[in-house]
């Protein structure tokens, strides 16, 4: 690279290249904040035959693959499209509030960066688990929800889920323009 800088005459214009000074960590503060994720599930059930809990419909994992309900989600590329492509009649859009944990690291130059907590062991990619590590944080799902061990990292739920009718839309209908329609 140095020959290119010299050949282009850039060193003459800007002076010799100076290596970046390494930053020194001066502070680290653990932060946790709500992290909304939209879950998507395509299904064919007769809505009139579903168990009810007040004005809510109850979805059960009993008849699902491996006894859990599988959801694609907003962290995946086109999670909604994946759920719609399952050949199903209805689309459920379920708002889930996870928790995002990160360390806010301060440096001597005044800059700050988010980093995943290094004192929490990284999740085991071969098991279903409640956490997943991202580039700058650790996302933790609420009780009863897990990230699947499969490559797509779907979110699974092994308990009944009460949903409002507004979270369900007919797939492919002109009215299907988003959540609650």
Domain borders along the chain are 23-170
For the entire predicted model, the pTM comes to 0.76
Residue range 157-169: mean pLDDT, rounded: 92
Q: Give long-range contacts, CB 8 A cutoff, 24+ apart: 120-126.
A: 123/147, 125/149
pLDDT band at 173 (very low <50, low <70, confident <90, very high): low
92-144 pLDDT, tens digit each: 999 999 999 999 999 999 999 999 998 887 778 788 889 988 899 999 999 99
Q: Does residue 5 surpass a pLDDT of 60?
A: no
Secondary structure (DSSP) of 98-166? EEEEEEEEEETTS-EEEE--TTSPPP-TTS-BSEEE-SS-EEEPPTTEEE-SSTT--EEE-S-EEE-GG
């Amino acid at each position: 690279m140095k020959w290119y800088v010299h050949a282009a005459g850039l060193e003459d214009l800007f002076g010799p290249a100076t290596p970046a000074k390494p930053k020194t960590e001066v502070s680290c503060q653990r932060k946790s904040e709500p992290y909304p994720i939209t879950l998507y599930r395509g299904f064919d059930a007769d809505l009139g035959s579903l168990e009810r809990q007040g004005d809510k419909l109850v979805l059960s994992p009993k008849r699902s693959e491996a006894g859990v309900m599988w959801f694609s989600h907003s962290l995946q590329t086109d999670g909604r499209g994946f759920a719609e492509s399952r050949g199903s009649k209805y689309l459920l859009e379920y708002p889930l509030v996870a928790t995002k944990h990160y360390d806010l690291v301060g440096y001597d130059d005044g800059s700050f960066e988010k980093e995943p907590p290094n004192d929490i062991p990284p999740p085991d990619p071969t098991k279903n688990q409640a956490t997943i590590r991202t580039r700058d944080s650790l996302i933790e799902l609420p009780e009863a929800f897990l990230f699947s061990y499969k490559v797509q990292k779907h979110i699974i739920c092994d308990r009944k889920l009460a949903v409002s009718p507004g979270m369900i839309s007919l797939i492919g209908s002109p009215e299907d323009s988003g959540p609650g329609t």
